[in-house]
Amino acid sequence: MKTANEKETNQWDIRIGELDQYLFGQGTHYDIYKKLGAHPAVIDGKKGVHFAVWAPHAAKVYLTGDFCEWIETPDYEMKRLEPLGIYELFVEGMQVGDLYKYLICTHDGRRLYKADPFGNHAELRPGTASKVADIFNLEWNDESWEEKRRQQDLDTMPMSIYEVHPGSWMKHAPTDENPEGFYNYREFAERITDYVKDMGYTHVELMGIAEHPFDGSWGYQVTGYYAPTSRYGTPEDFAYMVDYFHQNGIGVILDWVPAHFPKDACGLAEFDGQPLFEYADPRKGDHPDWGTKVFDFGKNEVRNFLIANALFWVEHFHIDGLRVDAVASMLYLDYGRSAGQWVPNKYGENKNLEAIEFFRHLNSIVQKRNPGAMMIAEESTAWPQVTGAPEEGGLGFSMKWNMGWMHDFLDYMKLDPYFRSYNHNKMTFSMTYAFSERFILVLSHDEVVHLKCSMINKMPGLYDDKFANLRAGYAYMFAHPGKKLLFMGQEFAQFQEWSEARELDWYLLGEAKHSQLKEYVKTLLHLYKEDPAMYTLDHSWEGFEWINADDFSRSIFSFIRHSADRKSNLLFVISFTPVERKEYRVGVPQSGSYKLILNGDETRFGGNGHEVPATLKAVKGDCDGQPYYLEYDLPPYGVTVFKYAERKPEERKSTETKAAERKGVEHKAAASGATERKGAEHKTAASGAAGRKGAEHKDTAFGTHTKKTK
């Protein structure tokens, strides 16, 4: 192999120029990943690979790998560029797939072997080297999807997310070449796409995509921010997967972890011998809960590293959204820390002002450059305006996970039905803040691990009761305002907690209850996606109307979801007790017919088959503060959904006037008929009485007695 240095070519300034350094130093070089890292290139007619790494505290930096037996070699010493301390080198003859690391020589004599922070591919663990990749010749066929995304309105579109860990959704039988049985990105996409489409999900959210050394971290301790994990294939394979999803109408969201990174020797921690990517002060730079390092959000180059990384996934790999992990840990300086273990900001507060500014910058630039791209916050506190506009004091996220709803919902669902009446507000409280942010309702992987139990095993009661409870709970989730997220395996009631080490318990679909619950969730997903009442007014009180939020004694909730044009309106009645409610009445706003579109107790869903009429006529009479009501038998743990078209006020008035007129005519006719009948009956009775009296008088006069008969 041959190397080139600045004396041999005049093109180095073109590769890493003054403008590149200036923008990176300002934190605004949004395409820096195209310059830093390892990229195949042709310089002076010579084919090879250009390497560049930021290591300002290093005394020297060498490129090392198989090509030099992983030792410090003068031919592979990298050239330092000032003022930022970027090192670069062009190596002729290196190819895609070659392994490499940076050998960082510190001023105190240490030798650190580091993977490339901007590397696009990595050696399969337990190896930790970077791999040369060419990510600039990917094939894409999703232009129509990309255009659709640019035009979409997140507020008024349906969004149901299937959260998936690719390594454990489904596995091959283990082999010597593939002991974990991982699916390649390509075959994973082809296998899961039909399932996702059939179920009715709109998006997949993929866990553990950025390169990480430890499977048990689920991808939340990242060492390769710019590299799709090699567990499932190459960057080309990853691009194929995203493209395949898009061609089949499925959006792709990735977990993204800008909060912290692990201390692995090959990674970002003390990258050039000193704190570089992390805060130098351990009271800010060390995360006590997770044993990791915290990014220095006050350093321009670090912010640039992260913002460019978000753009890398969205722009280069066509990702539709990023779910930003552990936002609260970034916002609060005292997160997970006791008194004396954290440093207040300049105002003496616990807010991380640098992280706040980072989020505003990040979200503004991602969404400005990529209309329709989603930035989703996993934020577990009541921090205000997470989805508010940055210019109005918000953080600028597109959406936020509704962790408050999730905790209250699960607390309620775990209760024995006997105690639910005393905890009724756990299910209604979320509506007091439902429209303060743009929320996603989540039942994520975090809720089915660490002895928390799977969703089905959280439910009280015996076997059948558990399924009935879960049907009621899922109905409430899908009917509640907000986008939806459900973790894999919970759609068919997997009993085991999730583990990254094994595939889902697909064999359960051979058992009736599990396949029936899957059919039920599928029905809910399609109802959600296909009926505009379920999503077009998801962020406004105009789309939601309580009928009875206070029926705590019976643990029943009733409400209406409205579409924006009011042509579709869905009345939900959901019971959380095993009691059948005979002749149950629920108030409705208008007269007319109400069509049953879902009965959760149908046998095809695993229910007991209690029948509810296909159509109900509203009856005049006050109920639940409404002028009409429906009456029917509500099944145990009943879920009933009725659809009706809302009439305009003048139409309702006209209909009600006509009904009143008909009633008046009927009353008049009935009164007239009654009078006539009464007169005739009186005349007949009088005539009959006179006749009988005359006959009796005659018989008596002749000395005989007449026997009375009926």
Active site residues: 325, 378
As a whole number of angstroms, the distance between CA 159 and CA 483 comes to 5
As a whole number of angstroms, the distance between CA 349 and CA 403 comes to 24
Q: Hey, what's the torsion of the CAs at 481, 487, 490, 494, to 10 degrees?
A: -170
Please, which residues have CB within 8 angstroms of residue 158's CB and are 6 or more apart in sequence?
A: 202, 483, 528, 529, 534, 535
As a whole number of angstroms, the distance between CA 497 and CA 68 comes to 47
User: In which element (H, E) is residue 626 found?
Assistant: strand 626-634
Nearest to 561, CA basis, from 592, 528, 523: 528
Nearest to 125, CA basis, from 52, 62, 219, 39: 219
| Residue that is written with structure tokens 């997997």 in the block | 494
| Structure tokens, 162 | 């299937």
Q: What share of the chain is helix, strand, coil (3-state, %, to 5)?
A: 35, 25, 40
456, 493 in Cβ contact below 8 A?
yes
3-state DSSP of 371-416? CCCEEEECCCCCCCCCCCCHHHCCCCCCEEECHHHHHHHHHHHHCC
Strands (E), 658-697: none
Name the DSSP class of 365. Answer: H
Apex 414 CA angle, 410 and 419, nearest 5 = 115
Please, which residues have CB within 8 angstroms of residue 69's CB and are 6 or more apart in sequence?
A: none
Q: Is the peptide bond before 126 cis (omega within 30 degrees of 0)?
A: yes
372, 365 in Cβ contact below 8 A?
no
DSSP output for 136-163: SS-----HHHHHHHHH--GGGS--EEEE
Q: Is the peptide bond before 635 cis (omega within 30 degrees of 0)?
A: no
CA–centroid distance for 161 within its chain = 5
Could you give the 3-state DSSP secondary structure of residue 623? strand
Could you give the 3-state DSSP secondary structure of residue 49? strand
Could you give the 3-state DSSP secondary structure of residue 351? strand
